[in-house]
Structure formats: C-alpha cells, structure tokens
Amino acid sequence: MRTTIAILVLALPGGAETARTAAVGCTLNNPAQDLKALYPDITSFKEVLRDLPRMDQGEKLFKQLQERLGSDLDPVYEAYDTPYTVYQVFRGEELAGIVHGVNVPGKGGVIQVFLSIDAKSAEIRKLFFQRLESAAATELRAKEFRARFEGLTLADFYKHDYYAVAEPTSEKDKVGRIPDPTSDEEGRADFRSSLRGVRKNLILLDLFVFERRHEPFYERSKEALEKRKK
C-alpha cells in the first residue's frame, strides 16, 4: 500500500516514528519531509522492507555482499539479519525514484549514508548523510563533495576495483577521481567509510531492486584482475 504525504505526516508523530525506526536497520527520520525535499512533485511513496534471511539463498547473498564490498562486515551494523527499508517514490502512477540508506561504522561513530536513485538507470541522483559523527563532517557534507557521486552506478565502483590496481591514474576511473576533502587521518578514515557506505548501498539495491544488473561488471573486473596475476 502506498502512503500519501499528507496521511503520513498525520499518522506518524515523533514517538511512533522513533519506535518504528528502532526496529529497522536504517530508516529516514522524517520520511514525508525528506522524500518531499528530494522529489518536490512526489504524490505518494511506499516502504518496502527487505532482509536477507527471508530472501531466496539469503546466506549465499550475505557472503556475496561481503565479497563485493571487499571488506569484513561489522557485527553491529551489518549482521545477516539486519533489515533494510527501500523507499519507492511515486509521481502519480509513475515510479519516480528509489531512496535507501545504510549504516556503516566510522571513526567517530555510525555513519548513515542515504542515496536517491534513478528508478530506470540505477544512477545516483543525490547522496546525503542523515547521521555523520565525524570531525570532518563539514567537508563530507559539503554540496561540492556530494555532487561528485551524482550519475555514478554500481558498475563504476566495480570498474574502480580494476583501475585501482591496473591503471591508478586512469581518467576512466570515476570513483578514483573523487577527491578526499578531509585533512587528517581521522577525516580520511571517515572519507573511506563514506565511500564504503555508498558502495554497500548500491550493492544492496542491486539485490533488492535492480535484479543484479551490475553483476557482469563485477565478474569482468574480477576476471581482469585474475589475468594480471598470471
């Protein structure tokens, strides 16, 4: 069932929203207001709850998430039974976009990375941090920095795996060309965590929404790197 903006504002006062958020891995604090800000002409939206244990071959997908993320999963924020909320945004009957957030551990605390995604191209429209406990929060929240992610897809992150090893200075590496705006080691750690959060978000959306359309890019990058080792 879709929820109109007006109904949601009346139905979910602060206490109810807090209780509901506590039961979900990473949700918008104020869905109606946040989604309206991202999509001014929104008419309704739908919350789709997804969790790996209820998905076909969930344990296998969990292992693949870790493999594609390229790092160990945090036991607090990235457990197998972590639930996720996918926001489907509608303009009339048209699916106008997808919004999804994830928790990742940062140097100063949890970082909540949200992405607004084009429903057709799977490209990033907007990146924003709902929560960012970092000494470099000002730099990472800067509009200029966040704009560097617009237009990227999961394919760009998979391609980066190859370029980072084979052609570190390649102009084709869109992810590698994103500058680190921070100035100290703590800030650099949270910059890396933010990149990891974007990648994790896109991997999960590839599973939940886009039917693994970017998987061929992961396989090609993996195969290319293996050939370089021989």
Banded pLDDT at 4 (limits 50, 70, 90)? low
Q: What is the mean pLDDT of residues 163-190?
A: 95
Domain count of the chain?
A: 1
Whole-model pTM: value is 0.89
Residue 89 pLDDT > 50, yes or no? Answer: yes
Q: What is the mean pLDDT of residues 169-176?
A: 96
Cβ partners under 8 Å of residue 219, min gap 6: none
The per-residue b/e assignment along 5-23, b for 16 or more CB within 10 angstroms, e otherwise, is beebeeebeeeebeeeeee
| Side chain identity at residue 108, one-letter code | G
Cβ partners under 8 Å of residue 147, min gap 6: none
Cα atoms found within 13 Å of the Cα of residue 65, Cβ hemisphere only: 25
Residue 23 pLDDT > 80, yes or no? Answer: no
In the chain, the percentage of residues whose pLDDT exceeds 90 is 85
Identify the domain containing residue 19 by its residue range.
3-229
Banded pLDDT at 230 (limits 50, 70, 90)? confident
In the chain, the percentage of residues whose pLDDT exceeds 70 is 90
* pLDDT the model gives residue 13: 35
